[in-house]
A and B are shown apart, each in its own frame.
Chain A
Amino acid sequence: MTRPLITHRTLDRIGLLFVALVMISPVILFFLWMISLSLKYEIDNGAYPPIIIPENIAWSNYVKVFEENNFLLYFWNSVLVTGTATLLALVIGVPAGFGIARLKAEKSAVVIMIARMTPGLSFLIPLFLLFQWTNLIGTLWPQIIIHLVVTVPIVVWIMIGYFETTPKELEEAASIDGATTWQVFRLVALPIAKPGIVVSFILALIFSWNNFVFGIVLANRETRTLPVAVYNMLSFEQVSWGPLAAAALIVTLPVLLLTMFAQKQIVAGLTAGAVKGG
């Protein structure tokens, strides 16, 4: 009786593996094709039927992206904008998450939910005007500031959820021993909350890095971030597929690497945020 059951189960597992492979095939196809496009010369990219693995690999596409399109500058801009906006969000968002959780003012998080519902463009119009009047256009500051619209809600949202689950007994004990609220936060709450901080850091980083809409309005030639730079390659130059795909890969590679290495945190953060988001 047991033997046929086991074979049945093995068959099931192989069947599931097969179904899973079918399901991820669009993902594989996309990324393989992206890599393939980025490593082919124009002749191979224009071939029909399409060539997947070329005879001559065009590493020069990558060189071209950096040489002809100022990509090093745009990469650095992206690092500065995303880095600053994310760090600022942590500095103000983590204490806020703590405060809101302890004040039991979770309802105030409704603001954050509504912010998430608001189309990015309706933040963009007023802030664009404000940046024009204050003469900040031309620096990276407008983008850093507006990226806070993305990063702060993520951090606050995740940290509220996290501080709600951390035990309050230790904090109470510390404050009875005479610790100030700041000391309680700094020495008791913060160390326990480290995993939550990591999750919110990673998610804020990714969503800020990927942001496109703020950049197309606020960035000029010198202050472009990578997503905007890639888009501009498409619109303003004779479209040659190899360098274009190489550029697309360069933009998204840091995020994909992060996704691979921090998958557990990302999944935890997204599902927690998502479930709470309802």
Chain B
Amino acid sequence: MASVSIDNPIDETTERRSKPARLAPNYWPFVMPALLVVSAVIVFPWLFTLWMSVNSWTLGQPRTFIGFANYLRLAQDMRFWESLWHTTTYTVLSVVLPLFFGTLAALVFDAKFPLRGFLRGIFVMPMMATPVAVALVWTMMFHPQLGVLNYLLSLVGIGPQEWIYNQTAVIPSLVLVETWQWTPLVMLIVLGGLAAVPREPYESAEIDGATAWQKFRYLTVPMIAPFLMIAVIIRSIDAIKSFDIIYAMTQGGPGTASETINIYLYNTAFAYYDIGYGSAMAVVFFLIIIALSFVLLMVRARANWSDMEER
């Protein structure tokens, strides 16, 4: 703003004033190094992936241009469609469950009670723990014979489960780990929303004799809705890309029962070294994520808009 007034041509007659104008801050040199790095490690891979996706290329063999053949192959690849289905189930569950528990936890930690800060600190820890280490310990806890989880279930009279070693139980089991690890993030986001909620509406609602549930449903939920939406967006993007936990615990197994797109992509590119096909898969996967984010952002924008209109 200041530089605009200094640039005023009338001022340039006096030398003193024109001096700062020559020194009008140039911020580009600050951005350049990052721009270079981002181009090299982020933009270049995008473009290169696009290029490879229209080529047939297995590592160690010559590369040939094949146009959209990789994409056609993908459309007919049953394993890809199955992995898409696994990804969908995994993602939906890994959004809904942390959202539910995270909101619940935020409501609790928003209230005042003894040891709150300390307990919240413990609650946040899973989110920061190294996913592979987390996955390893859960693998041991899931062990059908010696695992502590089956023992705990037996205490309440539930028979032993096969967890990640069973075709149908594997995805819910993995989601359990994902939920355990990422509920804290939802909690933190919602907690931020609750902190911004004003006190007055609750006071008048109390005077009107609203129940706790009514206050939550008609006051809290609408006011923290934007934050819930942010949590949904972030969680969706992270869950759909989830790799570490799935790979470390099951590698997509048993069979291909927990093979998500990301795992199939990894196998294609780095187990079969089918670089061209893997790249096409990466492009499609990327487009799916972008589309998902776009839809979620649209929902968010529309929600804000109608909210504004009501007022």
Which residues of A are at the interface with B, using a C-beta cutoff of 8 A? 12-14, 16-17, 19-21, 23-24, 26-31, 33-34, 37, 45-46, 48-50, 91-93, 95-96, 98-100, 102-103, 105, 111-112, 114-129, 145-146, 148-149, 152, 156, 172, 175-176, 178, 180-182, 184-185, 206, 209-210, 212-213, 216-217, 226-228, 230-231, 234, 241, 244-245, 247-249, 251-252, 255-256, 258-260, 263, 266-267, 270-271, 274-275, 277-278
Interchain CB contact under 8 A, A30 and B293: no
> Which A residues are CB-close (under 8 A) to B44?
126
Closest residue of A by beta carbon distance from B39: A111
Interchain CB contact under 8 A, B290 and A48: no
B151 proximal to A (CB < 8 A): yes
B265 partner, pick from A105, A121, A172, beta carbons under 8 A? A121
Interchain CB contact under 8 A, A248 and B137: yes
- Whole-angstrom distance from the CB of B22 to the nearest CB of chain A? 11
A96 partner, pick from B35, B43, B49, beta carbons under 8 A? B35
Scoring B residues 28 to 41 as 1 if CB is less than 8 Å from chain A, else 0, what string do you get? 11110111011001
Interchain pairs with CB closer than 8 A, number: 289
Q: Which of B186-201 contact A (CB under 8 A)?
A: 188-189, 191-192
> Which A residues are CB-close (under 8 A) to B126?
27, 30
Which residues of B are at the interface with A, using a C-beta cutoff of 8 A? 2, 19-20, 23, 25-31, 33-35, 37-38, 41-46, 48-49, 52, 101, 104-105, 108-109, 111-116, 119, 121-126, 128-134, 136-141, 145-146, 148, 151, 180, 185, 188-189, 191-192, 226-227, 229-231, 233-234, 237, 241, 243-244, 247-248, 262, 265-266, 269-270, 275, 278-279, 282-283, 285-286, 289-290, 293, 297, 300
Cα A46 to Cα B112 with chains together (Å): 43
Cα A34 to Cα B229 with chains together (Å): 34
> Which A residues are CB-close (under 8 A) to B248?
212, 231, 234
Interchain CB contact under 8 A, A122 and B25: no
- Whole-angstrom distance from the CB of A254 to the nearest CB of chain B? 9
Cα A69 to Cα B139 with chains together (Å): 20
B129 partner, pick from A182, A212, A252, beta carbons under 8 A? A252
Q: Can you identify 16 A-B contacts, CB atoms within 8 angstroms?
A: A17-B114, A20-B119, A23-B104, A30-B141, A95-B31, A119-B285, A123-B42, A125-B49, A125-B52, A172-B2, A184-B25, A185-B30, A228-B132, A248-B132, A251-B132, A270-B185
